[in-house]
């Protein structure tokens, strides 16, 4: 493929790579990739064309042909950085990458973002792609792409992360939030709002009727409380930041004290009075008839 990267050569490479992939001959596949790159005048353009023509290569599991192909290209370009003629990366080429990138999972996504310098595209254009994924019911892909393109500060936290939380994809939300304190607070505040006594989860789920894999059981108070407690500890945020959680904990503690005093009868009046005043907080006097 020296000089011009012909369609015939590309078809031959496509068949060879696909055959080696089906045979799981990864060592030979790597060698074929390197040899092909040596002959290409525009390796990035050719690899993109291969991915466009073969959607099955880039879909599904983390271990896919697209990931191997982009990894080998990335490694090869690094090894030949000093001797290669620079390949022009125009916006049309980058936009072609954006059209397929949402189907790429795992490390292949990182490679494509770096190989085609997607962060250099206009932010408004990148944000449109991410928001489009949200509106079409693909919040996971939206969050992953936003994370790789470092777009979190320009997106509405709730719009991206609320549907993921309802799908029990907290791990993705935590990656999305990272070490950014403002988003950490947004996350715990959102979860705390779900702990409010008057919170109606039915209304919330109604907003996402078409979204698959909704997990209503994860909005149960004890599960939310456990998750919130862990996040507060991880992020170093005071429980005072979550008034609903604090109230929930207080009520649980009062129920426990009631059980210990009136069912087990294992604590005396002095101990009861001391603990109940601390637990009740702003409630100054609580009287119980025996």
What confidence score (pLDDT) does residue 284 get?
39
272: number of Cβ within 10 Å: 17
3 state SS for the chain: CCCCCCHHHHHHHHHHHHHHHHHCCHHHHHHHHHHHHHHCCCHHHHHHHHHHHCHHHHCCCCCCHHHHHHHHHHHHHHHCCCCCCCCCCCHHHHHHHHHHHCCCCCHHHHHHHHHCCHHHCCHHHHHHHHHHHHHCCCHHHHHHHHHHCCCHHHCCHHHHHHHHHHCCCHHHHHHHHCCCHHHHHHHHHHHHHCCCCCCCHHHHHHCCCCCCCCCHHHHCHHHHHHHHHHHHHHHCCCHHHCHHHHHHHHHHHHHHHHHHHHHCCCCCHHHHHHHHHHHHCCCCCCCCCC
CA distance 73 to 95: 19
CB 214 within 8 A of CB 166: yes
258: number of Cβ within 10 Å: 13
Q: What is the mean pLDDT of residues 152-161?
A: 96
Contact partners, residue 87, CB within 8 Å, separation at least 6: 42, 43, 44, 45
CA distance 10 to 13: 5
Q: What is the mean pLDDT of residues 41-68?
A: 83
**Residue 278: C-alpha distances to residues 89, 94, 247, 252, 290 (Å):** 65, 61, 13, 13, 21
Q: What is the mean pLDDT of residues 190-209?
A: 91
What confidence score (pLDDT) does residue 275 get?
65
What confidence score (pLDDT) does residue 41 get?
87
Q: What is the mean pLDDT of residues 107-115?
A: 84
Radius of gyration of the chain (CA): 27
Tokens of 148: 């790789």
Q: Of the spans 27-41, 105-119, 207-221, 238-252, which averages the highest pLDDT? A: 27-41
Q: What is the mean pLDDT of residues 242-264?
A: 74
Q: Confidence band (pLDDT; 50, 70, 90) for 172? A: very high
Tokens of 244: 């609903």
**Is residue 119 predicted with pLDDT exceeding 80?**
yes
Angle between helix 65-79 and 107-115 (nearest 10): 40
- Residues constituting the chain: 290
Contact partners, residue 70, CB within 8 Å, separation at least 6: 47, 108, 111, 112, 115
Q: Confidence band (pLDDT; 50, 70, 90) for 151? A: very high
Q: What is the mean pLDDT of residues 188-213?
A: 90
Q: What is the dihedral of CA 83, 67, 178, 122, to 10 degrees?
A: 60
CB 188 within 8 A of CB 235: yes
């Amino acid at each position: 493929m020296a000089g011009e990267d012909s369609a015939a050569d590309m078809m031959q490479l496509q068949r060879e790579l696909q055959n080696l992939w089906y045979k799981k001959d990864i060592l030979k596949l790597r060698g074929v990739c390197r040899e092909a790159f040596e002959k290409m005048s525009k390796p990035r353009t050719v690899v993109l064309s291969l991915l466009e023509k073969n959607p099955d290569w880039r879909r599904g599991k983390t271990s896919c042909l697209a990931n191997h192909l982009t990894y080998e290209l990335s490694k090869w370009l690094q090894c030949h950085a000093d001797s290669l003629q620079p390949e022009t990366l125009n916006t049309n080429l980058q936009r072609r990458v954006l059209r397929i990138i949402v189907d790429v999972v795992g490390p292949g996504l990182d490679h494509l973002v770096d190989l085609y310098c997607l962060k250099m595209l206009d932010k408004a254009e990148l944000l449109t792609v991410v928001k489009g994924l949200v509106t079409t019911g693909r919040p996971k892909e939206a969050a992953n792409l936003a994370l790789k393109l470092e777009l979190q500060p320009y997106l509405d936290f709730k719009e991206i992360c609320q549907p993921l939380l309802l799908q029990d994809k907290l791990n993705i939300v935590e990656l999305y939030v990272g070490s950014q304190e403002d988003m950490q607070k947004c996350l715990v505040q959102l979860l705390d709002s779900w702990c409010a006594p008057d919170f109606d989860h039915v209304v919330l789920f109604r907003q996402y009727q078409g979204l698959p894999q909704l997990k209503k059981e994860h909005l149960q108070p004890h599960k939310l409380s456990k998750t919130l407690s862990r996040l507060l500890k991880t992020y170093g945020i005071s429980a005072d930041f979550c008034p609903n959680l604090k109230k929930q904990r207080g009520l649980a503690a009062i129920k426990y004290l009631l059980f210990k005093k009136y069912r087990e009868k294992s604590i005396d009046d002095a101990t009861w009075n001391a603990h109940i005043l601390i637990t009740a907080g702003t409630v100054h006097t609580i009287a119980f008839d025996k």
